[in-house]
């Protein structure tokens, strides 16, 4: 069974992945104004796609963490919602 610090690490990892996705989207928006539009767009879109996959995986892990918390602490989790 994971310890509370491991759950916090997992949530921190999710946060970092979401921030990386946001940053890659911002970079893609900025680069789309560049002279080498097609090549940069392809690279940026590939980068965004990779970050989206990482976030999807992290969100899956987050769902597992939430399920774990609800299973281990059913009254406490429901009472705080």
Count of domains for the chain: 1
User: pLDDT per residue over 8-31, tens digit each?
Assistant: 888 888 888 888 888 888 887 777
Boundaries of domain holding 67 = 4-79
User: pLDDT per residue over 36-74, tens digit each?
Assistant: 667 777 788 888 888 888 888 888 888 888 888 888 877
DSSP letters for the chain:
---HHHHHHHHHHHHHHHHHHHHHHHHHHHHTTSSSHHHHHHHHHHHHHHHHHHHHHHHHHHHHHHHHHHHH-HHHHHHT-
């Amino acid at each position: 069974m994971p310890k509370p610090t491991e759950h916090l690490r997992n949530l921190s990892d999710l946060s970092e992945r979401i921030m990386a996705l946001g940053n890659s989207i911002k970079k893609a928006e900025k680069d789309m104004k560049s002279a080498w539009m097609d090549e940069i767009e392809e690279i940026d879109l590939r980068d965004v796609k990779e970050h989206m996959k990482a976030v999807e995986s992290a969100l899956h892990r987050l769902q597992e963490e939430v399920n774990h918390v609800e299973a281990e602490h059913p009254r406490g989790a429901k009472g705080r919602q």
